[in-house]
């Protein structure tokens, strides 16, 4: 809810794209910049405690923002400082969250859990902005921020109900920085974490630029409502249908499967290059959405089987860092590139980069040799 509500709040204070960019960047920069250290911190402390604390911080950030907006006293620098605090909290909560499933559930139930999380997150990507838009339309961005703040406090209450075993870390280093170095060294030892993260960087940069950056401005005849409708439709199979299909499929080579998921993200690029109707755009986003669902499941299943619980958050932080840092790169680069080559050529070029990157990833031995052994048969490699 908060991105949309914050955008309207900022534009009400200062109707300037520069001001909005500064507020957005004040959240993104610490979230990306502190992600790797956040993973080490999440592995060092009890994850439920870390998550509860981060939710309380984010709730306080949104509550303060809401009060400032509702009372008419909010200034741009207020929101910049608050979003910096919130982004820092996310840098810790993101890897902590992704290390929770193996603690909460036995291995046989984790696939269903990851699919359920994917469904919930996909639903909220549609429902969150929708609810925020309604609240902003009938009242004020401040009320949307207030509702958003309440969700963080409710999450903290839920997390307080968890009863988990003590977080014994006999191998913990003397400092968080030492834990970070140990996590990076372990990722290099595995052999597949950094290659997958590097490929993810390329894919995310291309997708965020071509679809998130150039896509909205491409072919004005599509219409804003049509494009939004296409993306909304693409959420439905991710919510239910494709998740049920994946629940009945046995994935043996998960990282190879993830490369096919990445390949599916090229579909909207091809559709944006050639199609002017909502229906083919919707179909393309459906394909892309299914691909993202496959990527998330394959990666999570691989990490939970191949990585010891004490290292989970650090490995997820490395993946998150490479993925998130790529997005602004693509968004910044796409404007000048589109102005030079034209929107259609950019979309086709981006699709070609996705295909080439897929071929590189699918033929890497470090990626192809990783196999899932299933519950009770965890192995290395």
Cα separation, 168 vs 59, in Å, equals 29
* Helix extents (H) in the chain: 2-13, 17-33, 35-44, 47-70, 76-97, 101-104, 110-138, 141-160, 176-190, 193-207, 215-217, 224-236, 242-247, 254-264, 267-274, 278-306, 312-341, 343-362, 365-368
The tens digit of pLDDT for each residue in 152-188 reads 999 999 998 888 766 656 566 678 889 999 999 999 9
Q: Which domains does the chain possess?
A: 1-115+128-165 (1.20.1250.20), 172-372 (1.20.1250.20)
Q: What average pLDDT score do residues 349-359 get?
A: 94
User: Hey, how many other C-beta atoms are within 10 angstroms of the C-beta on 92?
Assistant: 26
Q: How far is CA 65 from the centre of its chain?
A: 23
Asked if residue 100 lies in contact with residue 47, where contact means CB atoms within 8 angstroms, the answer is: yes
Half-sphere exposure of 213 (CA within 13 A, CB side): 25
Cα separation, 181 vs 204, in Å, equals 25
Asked if residue 230 lies in contact with residue 282, where contact means CB atoms within 8 angstroms, the answer is: yes
Cα separation, 272 vs 380, in Å, equals 42
Q: Residues for the chain: how many in total?
A: 381
Model-level pTM?
0.82
Quote the Cα angle for 197-210-196, to 5°. 10
Report the pLDDT value the prediction gives residue 150, as an integer from 0 to 100.
96
Rounded to a whole number of angstroms, the distance between the first and last alpha carbons of the chain is 40
The tens digit of pLDDT for each residue in 243-282 reads 777 778 888 899 999 999 999 999 988 988 886 677 888 8
Report the pLDDT value the prediction gives residue 330, as an integer from 0 to 100.
79
If pLDDT is split at 50, 70 and 90, which confidence band does 239 have? low
Asked if residue 334 lies in contact with residue 213, where contact means CB atoms within 8 angstroms, the answer is: yes
Flag whether pLDDT at 352 surpasses 90. yes
Which pair of structure tokens corresponds to residue 26?
């004040």
| Mean pLDDT, all residues of the chain | 84
List Cα–Cα distances, 153 to 3, 52, 127, 244, 284, in angstroms. 18, 9, 19, 31, 37
Cα separation, 295 vs 358, in Å, equals 13
Asked if residue 309 lies in contact with residue 183, where contact means CB atoms within 8 angstroms, the answer is: no
The tens digit of pLDDT for each residue in 364-377 reads 999 999 998 866 44
User: Hey, how many other C-beta atoms are within 10 angstroms of the C-beta on 247?
Assistant: 13
Q: What average pLDDT score do residues 31-56 get?
A: 92
Contacts of 250 (CB under 8 A, 6+ apart): none
């Amino acid at each position: 809810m908060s991105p949309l509500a914050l955008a309207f709040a900022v534009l009400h204070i200062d109707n300037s794209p520069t001001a909005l960019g500064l507020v957005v960047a004040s959240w993104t920069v610490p979230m990306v910049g502190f992600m790797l250290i956040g993973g080490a911190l999440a592995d060092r402390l009890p994850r439920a405690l870390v998550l509860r604390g981060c939710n309380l911080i984010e709730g306080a950030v949104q509550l303060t923002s809401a009060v400032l907006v509702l009372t008419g006293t909010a200034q741009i620098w207020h929101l910049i400082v608050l979003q910096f605090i919130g982004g820092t909290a996310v840098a810790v909560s993101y890897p902590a969250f992704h290390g929770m499933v193996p603690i909460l559930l036995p291995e046989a139930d984790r696939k269903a859990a990851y699919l359920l999380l994917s469904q919930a997150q996909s639903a909220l990507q549609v429902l969150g902005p929708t609810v925020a838009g309604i609240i902003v339309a009938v009242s004020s961005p401040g009320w949307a921020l207030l509702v958003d703040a309440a969700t963080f406090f409710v999450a903290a209450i839920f997390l307080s109900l968890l009863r988990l075993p003590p977080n014994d870390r006999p191998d913990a280093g003397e400092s968080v920085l030492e834990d970070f170095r140990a996590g990076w060294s372990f990722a290099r030892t595995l052999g597949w974490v950094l290659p997958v993260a590097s490929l993810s960087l390329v894919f995310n940069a291309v997708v965020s630029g071509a679809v998130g950056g150039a896509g909205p401005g491409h072919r004005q005849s599509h219409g804003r409502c049509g494009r939004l409708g296409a993306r909304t439709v693409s959420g439905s199979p991710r919510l239910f249908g494709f998740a049920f299909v994946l629940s009945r499929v046995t994935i043996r080579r998960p990282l190879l499967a993830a490369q096919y998921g990445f390949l599916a993200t090229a579909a909207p690029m091809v559709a944006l290059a050639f199609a002017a109707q909502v229906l083919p755009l919707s179909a393309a986003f459906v394909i892309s959405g299914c691909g993202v669902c496959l990527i998330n499941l394959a990666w999570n299943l691989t990490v939970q089987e191949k990585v010891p619980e004490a290292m989970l958050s650090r490995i997820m932080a490395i993946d998150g860092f490479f993925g998130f840092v790529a997005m602004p790169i693509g968004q910044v680069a796409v404007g000048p590139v589109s102005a030079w080559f034209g929107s259609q050529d950019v979309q086709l070029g981006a699709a070609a980069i996705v295909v080439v990157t897929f071929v590189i990833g699918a033929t890497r031995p470090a990626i192809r040799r990783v196999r899932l052994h299933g519950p009770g048969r965890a192995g290395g490699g």
